[in-house]
Structure 1
């Protein structure tokens, strides 16, 4: 059963009741089905319906899948879903969010063919298709990914090939493998035990739109995945045909229809892919659109952009060597040329427009330009007037402007009319031009210009060269723009190889207009009211220039190392904030910074972090081992821990977009007996010794998950035996009471030195500086406030912060001064100096 929706979509319903929309582009919603065909109408007479007799209806319109190239009647598609169950090549991975790296290979996608071109991969012989349209014989079996074809006989195609992995054939360097694109679980698909933490009171954080897909690339040397943006309506019917060709040769999910939301979604999705290249299929405006989105997304290293010219002028494509228009060149050749292309830089210029309030508009116009960035050229005067007339005529009668030849004929007629009217012969009388601060208006008057052109690339107006090279060389990346004056006599001569009047080469310009003047930016024209326009360099964009046949091949690309910060959270922070990535990152504490290549797996990154942070792998009784795990902060809506056993499967880009976050999860500690004795001596001292400095007790502990009020009662009463038993039974030493006080707070307040020592050796390092909710005080605050001198010494030796302030702005030293304990205050003051200045001698030491 088939029907059309109100929007014109074809909807089919199978015998089981399943309804499905026939799509020509991939579905990126949560309802996306892996292996869904991409159907487009076809009129090819030689292709038979993939549903064979007697199930084939043999009537009605036919559709062709652009991804696997099978043909089927619309009325036969439900049978293809139910009975044949033949799916298209998979374009993504639909697995558990933690399992996307367990199998990164892609099997062949075999399709039966009743006709095929080329030769058999095994025997090298051609495929002989029968001429009869009634023949249902399958002559070939081919893969939709690598395009390898085999005769449908055992001698050429063995059964073992069905399970073989595909290497994607000639386009392997450009294809994004399906294993890189991961469909994320829906919001409610997590286990019920992973309950969402409540929002904090007063939080102004807005819920973000959940992602449906994410790209997890495998960094591979020499691979240059290509992202294609294309408007099916551009170039007459060329755009629609090219869209289907790209979907056949590449992964359809790396080919984007610009009419469905523009390039932002695709660029944002693939921004972490190393070696990424972009191909903009359209006119110069399409390239400018892509470059503007790259600016907004903020790539650290923007991907280079190539051009497949489908517009009218295509000046940027000409300047980069891609030609003046696409002429049915095989797409496979274009993909090869894109992979081998050189990367060049293009100056991009910013236009700042201010209204000139001293003059009134002479006709209806606008106060802003259609674009504020110049990629190709910016001009005003007669040429902009012609471009504006063309734009208005095309808007009124679009059916008359469906070919490049007709468009150029219109420009010729409009130019001839202006040649007779000479409407803009007095342009220099209503314009003031400054280049690099120097007034060049007199040069405009002397040349009697009818138009002023700021040229950023060598090509203009469909391939002309208005700049005279004898006046200086042109370059797209020198930070200099060429200023050319044109008259109505010079405009037609440009097509015959002539040039305009060279006014200047400058790094900035200022234009002051005193009447409404037509202007254009990269072909987008308007009438601009009297204004003050400033032109200055914005940035440099990487573009792909076609490599000529006699040029040497590019050297093999290398992966540049990246520098990332490593931050740490403890279990209580992770449990409280795992559903809010921003909050988790805000409470994480910096550990170190590492420099590593993107293709290094997490297993090697772990060793590097341990080395940078001074940790050692346990090999004997004199060393200690720190056990921690990586936190994935970018894959799903919530954060989750990466299994240590799977670290060899993951890369840095798989778990983070910015900083690496690790979780101190479970730790073991070993020391020599001498070390333990020295620590015990320091911690058990009842007197304040001037020689006592901060002793770093980096004593790792297991962080458990079960809170208990018994832990707090034992710490308050000083019952060390009970506290030890609770800890060994799995109860957390990070338990807090209603006021936010920990066991260390209570033990320090009541002066239980043995409990304090046990908590310092066994508890989490975060205990030291945890603050209560009422006063914002640490355990050291409590010990100082209650004159617990020995406890203060133990906490300071363990590394407690002496500069921490409570809600009243008081440090532990100031609290000691407040209760008139001058000896304790003097000791804390000297230790503050040691914490801030290291081993330098203070002027006054107790």
Structure 2
């Protein structure tokens, strides 16, 4: 039993405690945060990342915990591959209790001939576990108490199966049974495929030299894989059902998003199929896995990252070339949008992304050669000292352009190189682009572009047409998307004089832009369609800014030839299809769906997205829409946007007090363990029945909370009909501030719009009644979430801990009434959990008296957290 448990990952529990010398010293072994590919790699080595998690007990247990014995606070680390948390000094203790991470390879050699070819489970004790027990089907009781020591579950870090930590659910035979690798087994590369090869030991130096010389002669006739010895070799067992995946992550893309997402892939996959591109690029990994049948690649980064991987595949000449999917982490992500991967990663679960990669369709993508040489016709007076004779890339997948857009990109690139710390998010990057573009527009840096170029497409000289148009930017486009999602060639059906645009037809689209058409791009406009061609000869007569797939430079006067290079193999995200709603597999899709629409504020989403039930409770009804049963989200969006404009059958308008902003998006409430946002560029890929059951949820990122201010009507509009609109008295400029009794009455009646109106007219949100009850006390007593949110957002913080006659704060009151969402709002706003009423009860004790054990556990957890914060502040002082 003990041997079986040790092989499967569970630690021995009866080992001697650590020696005093081990308590103060650092671990002798290096703490790794990347996979070790050297021949000295340790079997079952953990991959550690720093974590600020405070509620997880150290995995080594109290008996062996160094921090417990030293009785001081130390840093914690979390293993990305098996998700255990330990104190940094306790890492060495894991070896003493014989607990290793899930093995990512196997040893080769005669002594391992009998090593099983199947994968064993890697069992880990869990003090917190989502989902249900695989044996009994019951959920796991979550322990919210601080530093809970009780093990509630045992789960496998390969297949993610979980059992209750008791003999009736988890038995010995489950330890020994083979692991299926879980729902993503088709894309996981099993550790049995990856062998560590031992270097041959030769003692004679002359023999070494001879063999080395012979090896070099032979290797010149072999491919790159046979050219040198590697510590690890791949011996796959092909299966038609498998689509093994290599994940390449650029940690610097999209404001360093990649550094966070790489940990999720290490958890779901074999760590040896996940690669950090900052550690040497993709070439070594692609060479190692070149013989794996049906291989797929996931490029996590911007369009530049994708181009890097495609160029490496060209160099290696893999046959057939593995198809490449994209997880967009860049700023523009135009290629990702074209292949349905969206305009940027938000918070879609990695598990869903892996499913999309596995189910995606394989398509072709044209790639174009760029050959540039100095223009002999240009005079010496046209030379620019800051210009270069070479393009940043000699191939492009998206577009090649010159003029205004390249000048803006060049300024962005130079600024980012000088101050990289200022460009750490996609939003900031886009704001810089906008500011630079406006500045260049004022200076007119590219207004004479047409005078300094000659363009010949398939033998036809377009220069006269270009000089007549006087563009400030010319784009040679391979894909429909450009400049962060715009469609410069126009939407399908708008260009009747040309063939439909495709990314695999061997043709380029040539487009000219004036400043007017460039500005119209962001609102659905397009440029001047010049031609579609197979070959371009572009001649420039002075130094002009150019960009190749977003890589800019100032190119000296040159002659540039563009021709088709080859076609890359890509993975296009497929539309999710279902024959029935997820909540009713036995019934066909109805002809019409009547669905309740509810709005979620960004504040609530960020605080509660991990808990579906709480987030549903915090949502605000928007109305009801009727859509066809097979409608996708694009069609549903149109119905929702009309919802607030059209009255319902009773003649009433939407119950919400504020119209949705243009940036609202759908939330998937069904297919994952938590809510997640759906990129607007992917709405045509999702059916309504697949993200919602009886209710569909939408997120408005511009709303700070459910109580965000509605827009005031314009002076030319008729008297408002919305219940949130100000009364004629306020429109006429009555300067008399409202009385406090009016505010209290509005709070008692749960009249959010009236309260908001009175506050705007000068009402005092700190007013109290004769029993010292604040407006927040009254809002809590009526259970009005909107009024509570508004008061928390706009009133001084002193109302949080204000007490009425009997010593109750508003948090006492909410806890006694079992109002979980309102309690969460008040706690997150900063209310004290240590205050007591006249009976000496804290809010937690009031929740216990109300027999709401879950709320009491939550309040107890937050109370401990506040106590620790207070101790840290006192220590700092």
Could you tell me the TM-score, scaled by structure 1's length?
0.61
Shift of 1:421: 2.5
Alignment: residue pair count: 538
Counterpart among 363, 381, 385 of residue 344 in structure 1: 363
How far the C-alpha of 1:281 sits from its partner, in A, is 0.3
Pair 1:86-2:99 in alignment: yes
Shift of 1:237: 4.5
- Is 1:97–1:185's contact at 8 Å kept on the other side of the alignment? no
Q: Is the 8 A contact 2:45 2:101 kept in 1?
A: yes
1:450 aligns with one of 472, 491, 495: 472
- Structure 2 portions without partners, runs of 5+: 1-20, 68-72, 220-226, 580-877
Does residue 511 (structure 1) correspond to residue 523 (structure 2)? The answer is no
Q: CA deviation at 1:384?
A: 0.5
Does the CA-based 8 Å contact 1:344-1:544 persist in structure 2? yes
CA contact (8 A) 1:15 1:78 kept: no
Deviations 1:546-588 (A, max 9, x none): 1012499xxxxxxxxxxxxxxxxxxxxxxxxxxxxxxxxxxxx
Contact 1:418 1:488 in 2 (8 A): no
Q: 1:421 aligns with which of 439, 443, 459?
A: 443
Paired residue secondary structure (2:64): coil
Q: Which residue of 2 aligns with 1:34?
A: 43
Of residues 53, 62, 82 in structure 2, which corresponds to 1:53? 62
Unmatched tracts of structure 1, length 5 or more: 1-11, 553-846
Partner of 1:294: 313
The 5-angstrom pairing of residues 340-489 of structure 1 reads 340-359=359-378, 360=380, 361-363=382-384, 364-468=386-490, 469-470=494-495, 471-489=498-516
Query: Could you tell me whether the CA contact under 8 Å between 1:13 and 1:19 is conserved in 2?
Result: no
1:218 matches 2:237:
yes
Please state how far the C-alpha of 1:396 moved relative to its aligned partner: 1.9
CA offset at residue 161 of structure 1? 1.1
For residues 99-114 of structure 1, the aligned pairs below 5 Å read: 103-114=116-127
**2:300 corresponds to which of 274, 278, 281:** 281
> Is the 1:115–1:139 Cα contact (8 Å) retained in structure 2?
yes
Number of the residue aligned with 2:274: 255
> In 2, distance between residues paired with 1:115 and 1:411?
44
Whole-angstrom distance in 1 between the partners of 2:113 and 2:209: 26
Counterpart position of 1:20: 29
CA separation of 1:157 and 1:476: change in aligned 2, threshold 3 A: same
Quote the offset at 1:489 in angstroms: 1.8
What's the counterpart of residue 196 of structure 2? 183
State the Cα distance separating 1:232 from its structure 2 match. Answer: 2.2
Which of 136, 155, 158 is 2:168 aligned to?
155
Q: 1:358 to 1:279 in 2, by over 3 A?
A: same
Contact 1:97/1:184 (8 A) holds in 2: no
* C-alpha distance 551-53 of structure 1, shift in aligned 2 (>3 A): closer
Hey, what does 1:126 align to over in structure 2?
139
- Asked if the contact 1:352/1:372 (under 8 Å) is kept, the reply is yes
C-alpha separation between the residues in 2 aligned to 1:87 and 1:401? Answer: 39
What pairs up with 1:136-151 in 2 under 5 angstroms?
A: 136-151=149-164
- Any idea what SS the aligned residue of 2:66 has? coil
SS of residue matched to 1:477: coil
In structure 2, what is the Cα distance between the partners aligned to 1:482 and 1:522?
15
Q: Compute the displacement of 1:304 (Å).
A: 0.4
1:154 CA displacement: 0.9
SS at match of 2:391: coil
The answer to whether the 8 A contact 1:305-1:542 is kept is yes
Structure 1 Cα separation of the partners of residues 26 and 423 of structure 2: 46
Question: Matches of 1:533 and 1:98 in 2, distance apart?
Answer: 61
**CA displacement, residues 295-351 of structure 1 (integer Å, 9 cap, x when unaligned):** 111101100001000000000000000110001100000000110000110000000
Aligned counterparts of 1:47 and 1:330: Cα–Cα separation in 2? 22
Instruction: Write the distance in 1 (CA, Å) between the matches of 2:214 and 2:155.
Output: 61
Q: Distance in 2 between matches of 1:24 and 1:99?
A: 28
Structure 1 runs of 4+ with >4 Å offset: 12-18, 97-102, 195-204
Whether 1:497 and 2:524 are equivalent positions in the alignment is yes
Q: 1:18/1:44 Cα in 2 relative to 1: closer, same or farther (>3 Å)?
A: closer
Q: Distance in 1 between matches of 2:114 and 2:341?
A: 38
Q: 1:79 and 1:46 mapped to 2: Cα distance? A: 20
Distance apart, 1:189 and its partner CA = 8.1
Q: Which residue does the alignment assign to 2:551?
A: 524
Distance apart, 1:443 and its partner CA: 1.2
1:239–1:200 Cα change, 3 Å: closer
> What SS does the aligned partner of 1:368 have?
coil
Which secondary structure state, in structure 1, belongs to the residue aligned with residue 372 of structure 2? Answer: strand
1:359-758 alignment to 2 at 5 Å?
359=378, 360=380, 361-363=382-384, 364-468=386-490, 469-470=494-495, 471-550=498-577
TM-score (norm 2): 0.59
SS at match of 1:243: helix
What are the equivalent positions in structure 2 for 1:740-779 lying under 5 Å apart?
Answer: none
On the 8 A contact 2:256/2:424 being kept in 1, the answer is no
Matched with 2:354 is 335
Structure exhibiting the larger radius of gyration computed from Cα positions:
1
Q: Deviations over 1:348-371 (max 9, x none)?
A: 000001111332344220000000
**Distance in 1 of aligned mates of 2:419 and 2:26:** 45
Query: What is the alpha-carbon distance in structure 2 between the residues aligned to residue 197 and residue 524 of structure 1?
Result: 45
Change over 3 Å in CA distance of 1:420–1:68 after alignment to 2: same
Change (3 A) 1:485 1:46: same
Shift of 1:204: 6.9
Partner of 1:773: none
Deviation at 1:400, TM superposition (A): 2.1
Contact in 2 for aligned 1:109/1:144 (Cα 8 Å): yes
1: CA distance, partners of 2:283 / 2:23: 35
State the 1:374 CA deviation: 0.8
Q: After superposing the two structures, state which structure 1 stretch, 450-459 or 411-420, moved more.
A: 411-420
The structure-2 alpha-carbon separation of the partners of 1:42 and 1:204, relative to structure 1 and needing over 3 Å to count, comes to closer
Partners of 1:491 and 1:23 lie apart in 2 by: 49
Aligned match of 2:333 in 278, 295, 314?
314
Contact 1:100 1:179 in 2 (8 A): no
Offset, 1:221: 1.4
Q: 1:117 aligns with which of 108, 130, 136?
A: 130
Shift in Å, 1:97: 6.9
The one of 65, 75, 85 aligned to 1:71: 85
- RMSD, aligned CA: 2.5
**Structure 1 200/422 Cα, relative in aligned 2: closer, same or farther at 3 Å?**
closer
CA contact 2:45–2:100 (8 Å) conserved in 1: yes
